[in-house]
Chain A
């Protein structure tokens, strides 16, 4: 045994050609991934004459903040104040994410720790439901949302995301790793299920809810389907971005500026909590 331990992972031959191929492939694929994002970044700082230059240049020569002030001006004139749509998006994303973390974690607790047959069946349904995103149930969802009188409310954007089962699945997979002995010990000490959940489970599954925060925040931050919201004052940044980007090349600078603003929050959250994400995602496997 000792001999095996001492032999490093490098015992496997790593051919030079293979290593070269990996670098080449990742460089090409990485460039394909990054270039459009970089293009958004540089376009956001291009002055109008560079945007309209022929032939178009990829990089910016004289960076300027003009597109950001333009963005605020355009939205002020044509739609609604930029701050208002920013607030709409932020409110929907933050409130929706917080609420979903709580209800998804609550639902995940019995799904992870209750061995009852019915709970097991319910879990199977929850996993199967991951298949059906709100995009594919759009029409009946629209009927239900309008029958409930939720058209033109924030709820029409928040609730369908909160009804998704992916978060419950994610939390459940992680809660399963909490040892049962810990729960039993707490219960012997007289802790109720609610105390166990709040004081024991939730702190232990912090990586899972950090991860779920990113996914939910990203989804909510990017929603803004105009089918549910007609009132201009309630529209989100996504809707603003769609209006601006459909206005063509003259608005490309402002479009890139709003795209850049929209990119910052999810990317920041992801970078901060990426180690939690990796810890959580390693639990996402499903048994066939």
Chain B
């Protein structure tokens, strides 16, 4: 189950980052001069059912404003409600606790060079209690594994073994 949880976090994070950076959405926690190339919904203009979901998202992330990526997404209420619900479930405590999932999302964002994702998940890991020492360690691992994955790709190394359980 743990591998599914990692995969869901990686997939949702990568998708949200792709949309947020692609649309040049402003960062949620750092000063940003980015201007969105498509309009976002202002919370005051949102219909009641969208506003209720914004409230849930703000509670989940302890924010006083819904993240920009969800304000974009809310332009299609049906998609927004379901994608947010999937996002919430991907980041909910299961085998992996929420903090660990946010650390993985930060690793995914750093690796994909996502300004939006790094800003968002850096704030989340700190808010959820990761120490500065833990943060440094996580970033060192990201750096080391970006090193070896690129070396492996450059040399087109084939896997040493089948990673499935029970295989060598």
Q: Do A and B come from one complex?
A: no
